[in-house]
Amino acid sequence: MPNSRSVCWTLVAVALVATAAACSDDDVEPDGAPSQSSASKSTPVSMDASAGDVDGFVSIGGRDLYVRCTGTGSPTLMLEGGDEDTSDSYSFAEADLAEVTRTCVYDRANLGRSDPDPGPRGLAELVADFDGVLKSANIPGPYVLVGTSGGGYISAGYAVKHPRQVAGIVFVEVPAPFRNPPAPIVADTRWDSPVNIEKRDYLQVEKDAWAARTRIGGIPVTVMSNKYSADEIAAAEYPSERQGMRTNVSDQRGWLVLSPSAKQVVVHTGHAIEESDPHVVLDAILDVVAAARS
Q: Are strands 54-60 and 63-70 parallel, antiparallel or unpaired?
A: antiparallel
In a domain, 89, yes or no: yes
Kindly report the average pLDDT of the chain as a whole number. Answer: 88
- pLDDT tens digits, one per residue of 22-44: 333 333 333 333 345 556 664 43
Among 292, 257, 67, 89, smallest CA distance to 172 is for 89
The edge-to-edge listing of strands for the beta sheet with 262-267 is 54-60, 63-70, 103-106, 76-80, 143-148, 166-172, 221-226, 262-267
- Tell me the pLDDT band of 285, cut-offs 50, 70 and 90: very high
Pairwise CA distance, residues 68 & 27, whole Å: 26
In a domain, 47, yes or no: no
Q: Which domain holds residue 118?
A: 5-23+54-293
Least confident of 33-42, 51-60, 91-100, 254-263: 33-42
Residue 223 Cα distances to 97, 112, 171, 288, angstroms: 19, 27, 5, 11
**What confidence score (pLDDT) does residue 241 get?**
97
Q: Averaged over 58-80, what is the pLDDT? A: 96
**What confidence score (pLDDT) does residue 2 get?**
33
Evaluate whether 217 touches 259 at the Cβ level (below 8 Å).
Answer: yes
In a domain, 230, yes or no: yes
Pairwise CA distance, residues 127 & 2, whole Å: 26
**What confidence score (pLDDT) does residue 131 get?**
98
pLDDT tops 90 at residue 5: no
- pLDDT tens digits, one per residue of 190-245: 999 999 999 999 999 999 999 999 999 999 999 999 999 999 999 999 999 999 99
- Tell me the pLDDT band of 6, cut-offs 50, 70 and 90: very low
- Tell me the pLDDT band of 16, cut-offs 50, 70 and 90: very low
pLDDT tops 90 at residue 248: yes
> Percentage of the chain surpassing pLDDT 90?
82
pLDDT tops 90 at residue 9: no
**What confidence score (pLDDT) does residue 12 get?**
40
In a domain, 31, yes or no: no
In a domain, 113, yes or no: yes
In a domain, 37, yes or no: no
Least confident of 21-30, 106-115, 260-269: 21-30
Q: Averaged over 154-158, what is the pLDDT? A: 98
In a domain, 32, yes or no: no
- Total structural domains within the chain: 1
Q: What is the CATH number of the domain that holds 69?
A: 3.40.50.1820
Q: Averaged over 49-77, what is the pLDDT? A: 93
- Tell me the pLDDT band of 21, cut-offs 50, 70 and 90: very low
In a domain, 48, yes or no: no
